[in-house]
Structures are given as C-alpha cells and as structure tokens.
Amino acid sequence: MIIVLKPNHTEAQLEHICEKVEEMGFRYELSRGVQRTLLGVIGEEDELRNAPLKAIAGVESVMSVLKPYKLASREFHEEDSVFELGHGVKIGGGSMILIAGPCAIEGHDVLLEIAQAVKAGGANVLRGGAFKPRTSPYSFQGLGEEGLKILREVGDATEMPVVTEVMDPRQVELVDKYTDILQVGARNMQNFNLLMEVGKTDKPVLLKRGMSATIQDLLMSAEYIIAHGNKNVILCERGIRSFDSSTRNLFDLSMVPNVKGLSHLPIVVDPSHATGRPDLIPSMALAGVAAGADGIHIEVHNCPEKAMSDGPQALLPNQFAEVAKQIRDLAPFFNKELATNPQPVA
Ligand code: PEP
Ligand code: MN
C-alpha cells in the first residue's frame, strides 16, 4: 500500500502519519521525492485494505501496490502517461513519436543534412550522441559539448526536439542545458547514481533496457528516476544479449505488451540496436507498432560507410522515409497517431 501525502503537507503531519501507521501495526518506508512524499506501508494484505489510512490528516490518497516498483506501476497510475517533449511533440496516450538521426554527432553540416532528410521523411524527434559509450577506448568517443551545441542548433533549425545520451552523473547539468530528452543508455541502465541525477531534472528520460536486464530490473531503474522527482520516463527496448550471432541482439518484442500491463510509462522500440541490420529494421519497426509501442527509434546516416559510429546498421534517408510512411499508415490500426509533417524526398 502506498500513502501519497498532500503536496503541501507539514513535517508534523508526516510524523503523525508515521505514528498512526505504526499504531495500526504496520511498518513503513519513507520516500521523499522532489515533488511528493510517499509512505510505502507494509503489512498483511487484508488488514491493510481495511485500515483507515486515508482518514489520516495530510494523506491525499492510498494505493495498493504489491510489486517492488510502485510509482512506475500501472496500479499507481492507471492511465497511460503522456509527456510533452518540445516543439509540440507528445508521446503516450495514442501519440507516437519517431526518433531518427545518426548514432553520433559528427559535425554541423552532416547533422543538418541528416536532420532535414529525416524530418522530410517523417521523423518528429532528432537523435545524435555527443558522449558515446564505445566498447573500445580507441573508437570515436563523441564531440562532447561541441556536439551538444550542434545538436541544439540543428534541432531548433529543423523544429524537432532532440535526444542525446548522458553517460555520467557529472555530465547531467551540461547535457540538460542543451537537450530536450536525456538518454540513459543500455550500459548505464543500472548506474544508480546517474539515475538519481537525471531524476532530479525535469527533462523526459529515454531509459534504454540493459542488455541483460529483466523487465523488473528495467522498471526498478525507472522507479529510481521517478522516486527522485522526475516522472517523465520513457522506456526503450533495444534488444537483449542472446546466444545467436546473426543479429546484434535479440529484439524482445513481447516486452511491449508485457510492460504495458505492468506500467503506465510510454515505450519506444529501437530495432536499429536490437537487430544491427538494415534489412531487418523496417519489418521490426512495424512489428513494434503492432506490439503497441509509443515510439520507434531508428538510426539514419546519409553516408553509412563513413559514419563514425554504428554505420553498418544505419538506414539511408530514402529507406527511412519508406518505413516512416508505413509506420504512419499502420499506427491508426493500433489506435495510435504519428503526427509528423513529411515532405516528398527528392
Ligand atoms: C545509442 O543509442 O547510440 C546507443 C549506444 O544505444 P544503446 O545504449 O541501446 O546501446
Ligand atoms: Mn548507436
């Protein structure tokens, strides 16, 4: 059971609630978020259900949640969450997003060219990494702040909200200055210090599933962010490790309807990192729509063989435009709308 305190509760009211809960024979866990204070009340199911918790002064509402993730759970928030991302783009509750762009920001002109092409093709969110989590220390690590500036400029010029990865708690303030959406990558899904830090911002967070993370691990990581005051968490399925090497990862599509039953948070699927193969990305993107995803994430480059990161999995702009049209046409069959402004690509 969760007790949600009134936003303007006093310390005396909180103390009183804690005393009353103990008097009723229950234990409690206190969670002070930036916005709300919550008490997780632990005790016997039936007794909890019949306890007059709601009548205590300072209590706004009482919810029954048995899972370890509370604030991320569907029980805590019945309706699908809907977030504003900037430039009038929304995710959740029937609004779909299409995130596209290169793996890494490589320079102003190349990003602008790709951004214009994906916008024309039907994307409504621009991606690009300035801090890249590379397996090899000798690979291109990203342009850092210079890359963030370019991303901001190009996002504004093409009127799209932008998303970029933040790898370290010490980078959060800097990345937050330039981006609309903070991305926590698969390798950092359980970097709890990072989760707490992005939880203190008010920017939507694209939380990518770790490559060996269970559904519960993912939702517990979302819980970290929400418990620190930021409820704008977007989950992202980007494939998990498997024994098969014909694809980069195993695209766990059943995760989408599975998590939809468990959580109110919007879900994006990323067939680019999940498959690592341009020939599989279009069909898997459409499968993502059919599975109920609220967004699709696709890496695009105008010259994949010259890309400084993830070139082999990048779609060309014309390939992207084709799948974007199919996504847009398919979405209404699943009660979704991809609101974009595609232009014919030359
Ligand atoms: C990326 O989005 O470029 C990326 C590194 O993704 P992931 O964390 O899913 O590997
Ligand atoms: Mn990538």
Pocket probe mutation, ligand 1, options 206, 207, 208, max atoms within 8 Å of Cβ: 208
Shortest-distance Cα residue to atom 9 of ligand 1: 186
Pocket probe mutation, ligand 1, options 237, 273, 301, max atoms within 8 Å of Cβ: 273
Q: What is the pLDDT of residues 139-184, one digit of tens each?
A: 999 999 999 999 999 999 999 999 999 999 999 999 999 999 999 9
213 CA → ligand 1 middle, Å: 15
Pocket probe mutation, ligand 1, options 134, 183, 235, max atoms within 8 Å of Cβ: 183
Residues with CB under 6 A from ligand 1: 103, 129, 133, 185-187, 208, 238, 273
Shortest-distance Cα residue to atom 10 of ligand 1: 186
SS3 258: helix
Shortest-distance Cα residue to atom 6 of ligand 1: 185
103 CA → ligand 2 middle, Å: 4
Q: Which atom of ligand 1 is nearest to the CA of 270?
A: 9
SS3 65: coil
The CA dihedral of 251, 255, 256, 259, to the nearest 10 degrees, is -160
The DSSP code sequence of 123-184 is --EEE-BSS---SSTTS----THHHHHHHHHHHHHTT--EEEE--SGGGHHHHHHH-SEEEE
SS3 342: coil
Q: Which two structure tokens, joined as six digits, stand for 309? A: 């990161």
Number of residues written out for the chain? 346
Give me the phi and psi of 181, to 5 degrees please. Answer: -130, 130
338 CA → ligand 2 middle, Å: 23
* pLDDT confidence of residue 74: 85
* pLDDT confidence of residue 154: 98
Q: What is the pLDDT of residues 65-110, one digit of tens each?
A: 778 888 898 877 778 999 999 999 999 999 999 999 999 999 999 9
* pLDDT confidence of residue 346: 46
Shortest-distance Cα residue to atom 4 of ligand 1: 185
129 CA → ligand 1 middle, Å: 9
Taking alpha carbons only, the member of 119, 167, 169, 104 closest to residue 306 is 104
**Mean pLDDT rounded to a whole number for the chain:** 94
* pLDDT confidence of residue 203: 98
99 CA → ligand 1 middle, Å: 13
Q: How far apart are CA 205 and CA 215, in angstroms?
A: 17
* pLDDT confidence of residue 65: 77
Please provide the CATH number assigned to the domain covering 83-338.
3.20.20.70
User: Along the 346 residues of the chain, how does pLDDT read in single tens digits?
Assistant: 889 999 999 999 999 999 999 999 987 767 765 577 888 777 777 888 889 999 999 999 998 777 888 889 887 777 899 999 999 999 999 999 999 999 999 999 999 999 999 999 999 999 999 999 999 999 999 999 999 999 999 999 999 999 999 999 999 999 999 999 999 999 999 999 999 999 999 999 999 999 999 999 999 999 999 888 898 999 999 999 999 999 999 999 999 999 999 999 999 999 999 999 999 999 999 999 999 999 999 999 999 999 999 999 999 999 999 999 999 999 999 999 998 777 654 4
* pLDDT confidence of residue 30: 72
* pLDDT confidence of residue 344: 54
H-run or E-run covering 98: strand 95-101
Q: Which atom of ligand 1 is nearest to the CA of 103?
A: 3
Please provide the CATH number assigned to the domain covering 2-63.
3.30.70.1140
CB 102 within 8 A of CB 128: yes
Pocket probe mutation, ligand 1, options 164, 238, 310, max atoms within 8 Å of Cβ: 238
196 CA → ligand 2 middle, Å: 24
Say if pTM beats, i.e. exceeds, 0.85: yes
Q: How far apart are CA 91 and CA 84, in angstroms?
A: 7
- DSSP lists the bridge partners of residue 127 as 163
Domain boundaries, the chain: 2-63, 83-338
CA distances from 159 to 6, 88, 121 (A): 38, 9, 14
